[in-house]
Structure 1
Amino acid sequence: MGWSLQVRTVRDRGRSHGYRLRALASALEISRPLGFSATWTYLELRLGVDPEAPEFLEPAIDALADERVRSRAALRRHVDLRLAAKEEGRRQPVADGATPHRPLRWHGDERRGAGVLLGSLLDRPETQDLNARQESAAVLDLATRLARRLDAAEPRTVALDAGDRASLQAALVGARRDARPPRGPDAMPAYLRARTTQLLLEQILIAVDGAPPLGEPLTFVATPAGPPAGR
């Protein structure tokens, strides 16, 4: 069943609580801006209400619906930006540029969403494997500190100096390089480490700098402006 039907069902107080709760879970499966589990955790944190309580349902679906409106608006802006860029001769999108759905984020509350998603990523078994590599362990440590600060009703972030940013950018470049589809089972562990590191770094970037501008490179350091491609 579609999004609109699930929303109506959640808001229908004539239905049983269990039926409405299942409809909320179905709506979350459709939307899931942070992935299913992290989105559910985000809603619990934001609303401060037991998800089993009837009082959780309508505020939760309202929050999801608001995020969905913002996400779809971002998608329309992204399409307009791409059309304008093509008219100027820039037919290829910016490498590693932000899109409405990459990196994952809660549109309208990006920093707190990043804190929740960092916490979810840190709980994954494959994330703990990063401790075996010094540069990845440093990323893991920063992600843990940010998750603690942001996974709260009043999120707080941390400041990064130029050295921190340069180190994180180097780690991001390396993770992107290594997160290519693996060729054979022997390459899978390295791929998973790189992909997990990339996901962590993207959320760290949001946690520190906020929402990434659509179409712009995801980077911890300022990039010099160059002439438009095709000119």
Structure 2
Amino acid sequence: MNAMTNFPLHDRRPVSIRPVSKAGWHQMSGDRRCTHASAMANYLYITRGVGADARGQIDYSHRDDLVAHGLELPANHSCWAEEPGRIWRELDESTAHLADDEVRAWHVVVTLPANEYPEIWIAMTRDYALRSIAAHGPAVAWSIHARTHAGSQATVPPHAHLLVTTRVWRHEARQGQTVPVWCGPAARARLHANWLAKLPQSMRAAAVSPYSAEQYVPARLDFSALGGLMAAQTSKI
């Protein structure tokens, strides 16, 4: 293996936007791998929760890498939306009639700086979820996963998951219908740019073409960033 394949994927692709569909784990045109089939299953996965969707019981409570999780909503949301899991359960119900390959939501994964404290990770993730997503109308559930062993070396590199509505989630006539401005090219560009802007310069320099919905671009590593980033990683061991 060469330096390109050894270099951490989280550093090469710090923002990943994956569409959620019933096709779930099946490989399809575009990138639909690494998501569960329902919005509720994705929600329970990122929050390490216990519950059920149309396919049956789901239990991720045995996972021990959950640092924190939460929900960000537009300022004018109704109180019912704060009920844990309700938005995602109703989203599945309102889209049950759609074809399997129709996108229900987005599952966004972003890399966090490994040398920061959990409090910083939480602040970064919440601010991103609120300002870059919820302020524009969608609901977003977020969580942070990370794990270190006794030697302080990461066994699960710190990263955040954000489950984002791309369809009307409020109780109105259009509930379940796609909102183009929530999931179009401009929204994708904003999600990539705004997260990269939060990262240290060394992480921004190592980032390559995004890994996103309807697009898969093989990583082309920026070797000019290798020295500084690998030195930073070595200093933490």
Fold equivalence (TM over 0.5): no
- TM class by shorter chain equals under 0.3
Q: TM-score, normalised by structure 1?
A: 0.28
Q: Which has the higher strand share?
A: 2
With the length of structure 2 as denominator, give the TM-score of the two structures: 0.27
